[in-house]
Amino acid sequence: MKENRKTRFKRFTKAFKREWQLHLMVLFPVVYLIIFDYIPMYGMQIAFRDFRPKTKIWGSKWVGLKWFKDFTSSPDFGLIFMNTIILSLYSLATFPIPIIFALLLNAMKGERYKKVVQTISYMPHFISTTVMVGMFLMLASPISGIYGNIFRMFGGVGYPLDFRATAAAFRHIYIWTGEWQGLGWSAIIYLASLSSVSSELHEAAQIDGASRFKRIWYVDIPSIMPTIAMKLVLACTGIIGVGFEKAFLLQSSLNLSVSEVISTYIYKKGMASFRNYSYGAAVGMFQTVINMFLMILVNTAVSKATDGEISMY
């Protein structure tokens, strides 16, 4: 046994010396991560302290779970939490749409038209969130946007209702602008998978008399199941981290009751005019913990359901 350990250690040191160039290379990302990822991890403890810039981390008083208690018992908590969850679930509900689109496009005949459609469909993905929101605000203008113009085209008098800042419209605006933008791009992955489906399978199905529709159901869908499962897991785990940008940009004094989500709350309470770093850090930690928990939960479930085939790690 001792000989084994000795020789293994010797082999290791030999390899270690030999591979010095690889060490040199890998040092770059490692050092970067130590500086910008691991060290700030240490700073996370301000979530348990009453951080003041003057006293730095060490000097700030330890307050334990005070901020967490403050957050969960604050009157806003229920609302913010619900807003985040509802938005996420709504977003999750639109998960099948790119899949259906990819299946339709793949089954359609006409190579050139297909290419045109695909190219146009993923163009919106390159539009930044800010431009997307800006575009929407203008297009939905009752005065000068498509919305108003079509209203008048159908004989409407005056101006239609301006719904852009209303609470009722917020969620739908948030989700469907996202869908408009992401449809083509998300579909790319499914289309790539579909194109690698062995044509023999399709021919065999055809010989058995399966219609195009049946072939989609029995050949296409099963063959992209792994891709679907993987993307579903990723989508589920992002539930509580509902995007900051779009919610923030679409917020107005009218719709705060539905548009305030955890990430915007963290920003406002932690960084903006209120600037209570510790409180913001605590809520952020809350968000991370739930994210992690969800991720492990969903990954374990999917992994068990597919006998360990689909897993993130």
Q: Considering only residues 259-288, where is the footprint of another protein by CB under 8 A?
A: 266-268, 270-274, 277, 280-281, 284-285, 288
Interface with another protein includes 209 (CB under 8 A)?
Answer: yes
Q: Return the C-alpha torsion angle 154, 159, 165, 169, nearest 10.
A: -30
Interface with another protein includes 82 (CB under 8 A)?
Answer: no
Q: Which of 6, 10, 23, 69 binds another protein (CB under 8 A)?
A: 23
Q: How far apart are CA 313 and CA 292, in angstroms?
A: 13
Q: Which of 6, 10, 15, 76 binds another protein (CB under 8 A)?
A: 15
Q: Which of 4, 5, 29, 155 binds another protein (CB under 8 A)?
A: 29
Helix axes 277-305, 66-73, angle to 10 degrees: 80
Return the bridge partners of 56, or none: 52
CB nearer to another protein: give 93 or 292.
292
CB nearer to another protein: give 19 or 72.
19
Interface with another protein includes 230 (CB under 8 A)?
Answer: yes
Stretch that binds another protein, among 1-9, 69-77, 81-89, 104-112 (CB under 8 A): 104-112
Interface with another protein includes 70 (CB under 8 A)?
Answer: no
Stretch that binds another protein, among 24-32, 68-76, 88-96, 301-309 (CB under 8 A): 24-32
CA 56 to chain centre: 33
Q: Which of 48, 67, 71, 101 binds another protein (CB under 8 A)?
A: 101
Q: Tokens 């992690």 — which residue?
A: 292
User: 250 in the Ramachandran plot: left (φ > 0), alpha (ψ -120 to 50) or beta?
Assistant: alpha
Contact letters (x/-) for another protein, 148-177, by CB under 8 A? Answer: xxx-xx--------x-xx------------
Look up residue 27 and give its amino acid: L
∠ CA 211-217-222 to the nearest 5 degrees? 135
Number of shown-chain residues binding another protein (CB under 8 A): 108
223 vs 54, 56, 108, 216, CA distance in Å? 59, 55, 18, 10
Interface with another protein includes 12 (CB under 8 A)?
Answer: yes
Q: How far apart are CA 271 and CA 277, in angstroms?
A: 7
